[in-house]
Amino acid sequence: MAHVITEKCLGERYGSCVAVCPVDCIHPGEYKGEVFMIIDPETCIDCGACIPECPINAIVGSVDEDQAYAQVNAELTPSFKENPKVEERPKNDPPKKPGNKLVN
């Protein structure tokens, strides 16, 4: 079961998860007019390396934890896969959305 990037990433996109992914399954793009990242469910090997890297806890460990965004990740994968990698945003950079809090 693949990991899922949730709505918390929408408008944030730290990108620190990309650097630790051993199978290159995390891709950037735009969703609802904002920056976002997705995890390709076909490529993800459930290693868990990305989860502690996200400073706002925007990644969950299974589809069951956020079924709606699991579907979003799967639907956006084909259009996001070809996008160039993003530059990593500093983990201590404050979140842009008031509801998000730094946890790492």
- Residue-range domain boundaries for the chain: 4-80
- Hey, what amino acid is at 72? V
- The pLDDT tens digits of the residues spanning 1-47 come to 799 999 999 999 999 999 999 999 999 999 999 999 999 999 999 99
Q: What is the pLDDT of residue 38?
A: 98
What is the pLDDT averaged over residues 77-90? 94
Q: What is the pLDDT of residue 104?
A: 58
Q: Please enumerate in sequence order all residues whose Cβ is within 8 A of that of 71, keeping only pairs 6 or more positions apart, or say none.
A: none
- What CATH code would you report for 4-80? 3.30.70.20
